[in-house]
Amino acid sequence: MTDGPVVSVRDLRVYYGTPSAPVRAVDRVSLDIGEGEVLGLVGESGCGKSTLGRGILGLLPEGASSDGEVLYGGRNLVRLPQKAIRRLRGPDLGLVFQEPMTRLNPLMRIEDHFRETLEQHESGLGDREVRGRSLETLGKMGIPPTRFRQYPHEFSGGMRQRIMIALALVLRPKLLIADEPTTSLDVIVEGQILAILADLKKEFGTALLLITHNFGIVAESCDRVAVMYAGQIVEEGPVREVFVDPAHPYTRELLRSTISLDTKELHSIPGAPPNLINPPAACRFHPRCPNAMEVCVAKHPIEQRLDGGRRVLCWLHGPEQEIPEGMGRPLEREQIGVADEA
């Protein structure tokens, strides 16, 4: 790995415009991803994970706006004109979408998808080079040359997902964002996809942001994990340290909600993620938090650095001098608006 990160995100904000008020989907997020490093991004649906991935690449819909810094190669991608950032997508910045069948053109053969991708970004390649690069990359994904001229509907879901990964890798990007790459795949195919992703950092030195709901995938494949809630990163650090001793109550509750062979009864977090048009004041998790204190309702938490390169956004870790006298008292469930579970 190189000394510096491949991409540095600093105070990134992404808002979606609505008739009533903007949706604060990503709110002052900062993170780094190094060469050959896999960073897992986890959290409940609606917490901004996919928006963060697309915000890094500048792939936002009309009506959305972003601010902050996404530093890549000495340039802030947020401030680059769309024409300039388009040239970076593919050869430098890749994306694997969540559902391959919605991204592969059903009227085009797999061969045509690869030709279009390579000709768009590397126009100097000849037909032989295009074919050679395409088949080489597909081969690494376990797709034989005999399938090269087939259409997307002739492949299984797992093979289509491998094709999507191959389309991203054929341009040899420095940063790859994989958005739920194993969703709706069976466990055998899921394991194969994870093995492929693990090979990326060995063979290509690719920096990978892996967006997922699956903590098992994070434990298996990632070097670090970032936990996202209501548009903010609430905890980030090495996977083992975070999973063994979670610092944020939200991380702890998510881990308690996972199912394993030792599970004897199901656990869930009361309530639901907040409306990001008008999120809770101060700490956004406090209406659902079993450890909420009076200060959590009154003041925004201050990010704290912990041992082992970890960081957490929670008043349980201080700084104590910033907690007004008497506001460190715990809140009762009724005070924070979460009804008792049935």
Structural domain ending residue among the three candidates 256, 274, 292: 274
178, 79: one domain: yes
- Give the tens place of pLDDT for each residue, 294-308: 999 999 999 999 998
34, 112: one domain: no
115, 239: one domain: no
262, 133: one domain: no
- Give the tens place of pLDDT for each residue, 76-90: 999 999 889 988 988
43, 142: one domain: no
Extract the tokens encoding 317.
């870790």
87, 105: one domain: no
What is the reported pLDDT for 259?
A: 82
As a whole number, the mean pLDDT across the chain is 89
Average pLDDT on 172-194 reads 81
pLDDT at 162 over 90: no
Q: What is the DSSP string of 215-282?
A: HHHHHHH-SEEEEEETTEEEEEEEHHHHHHS--SHHHHHHHHTS--TT--S----SS-PPPTTSPPSS
Contact 277, 23 (CB under 8 A): yes
pLDDT at 94 over 60: yes
What is the reported pLDDT for 237?
A: 97
What is the reported pLDDT for 340?
A: 40
Q: Is 167 helix (H, G, I), strand (E, B) or coil?
A: helix
3, 146: one domain: no
Report the number of distinct structural domains present in the chain: 2
Max CA distance (Å), the chain: 73
Extract the tokens encoding 176.
């790859």
- Ramachandran region, residue 338 (left: φ > 0; alpha: ψ -120 to 50; beta: rest): beta
Structural domain ending residue among the three candidates 274, 289, 305: 274
pLDDT at 12 over 90: yes
Q: How confident is the model at residue 129 (pLDDT cuts 50, 70, 90)?
A: very high
Q: Which of 166, 167, 193 is nearest to 182 (CA)?
A: 193
Higher confidence at residue 24 or residue 262?
Answer: 24
Extract the tokens encoding 263.
């599970």
Q: How confident is the model at residue 341 (pLDDT cuts 50, 70, 90)?
A: very low
105, 232: one domain: no
Identify the residue whose tokens are 């905890």: 235
Instruction: Give the C-alpha separation, 143 to 19, whole Å.
Output: 47
Q: Tell me if 238 is assigned to some domain.
A: yes
Q: Tell me if 47 is assigned to some domain.
A: yes
What domain range includes position 222?
A: 1-92+173-274
Q: What is the DSSP string of 199-226?
A: HHHHHT--EEEEE-S-HHHHHHH-SEEE
138, 185: one domain: no
42, 54: one domain: yes
Higher confidence at residue 181 or residue 293?
Answer: 293
Average pLDDT on 313-335 reads 85
Q: What is the distance of C-alpha 208 from the center of its chain?
A: 9
Higher confidence at residue 8 or residue 265?
Answer: 8
Q: Tell me if 317 is assigned to some domain.
A: no
Strands 38-42 and 207-211: parallel
Percent of the chain with pLDDT over 90: 59
What is the reported pLDDT for 100?
A: 65
Q: Tell me if 285 is assigned to some domain.
A: no
- Give the tens place of pLDDT for each residue, 16-73: 998 889 999 999 999 999 999 999 999 999 999 999 999 999 999 888 999 999 999 9
48, 3: one domain: yes
C-alpha distance across the termini of the chain, in Å: 50
Average pLDDT on 314-332 reads 89
- Give the tens place of pLDDT for each residue, 203-249: 778 899 999 988 888 998 899 999 999 999 999 999 999 999 999 99
pLDDT at 336 over 70: no
Structural domain ending residue among the three candidates 274, 293, 318: 274
pTM value surpassing 0.85: yes
Q: Which whole-number Å values give the CA distances from 179 to 142, 183, 199, 248, 251, in the listed order?
A: 21, 9, 18, 24, 20
Higher confidence at residue 333 or residue 58?
Answer: 58
Q: Tell me if 296 is assigned to some domain.
A: no
Extract the tokens encoding 56.
């890094």
22, 148: one domain: no
What is the reported pLDDT for 106?
A: 92
Q: Tell me if 313 is assigned to some domain.
A: no
Q: Tell me if 66 is assigned to some domain.
A: yes
| CATH code where residue 1 lies | 3.40.50.300
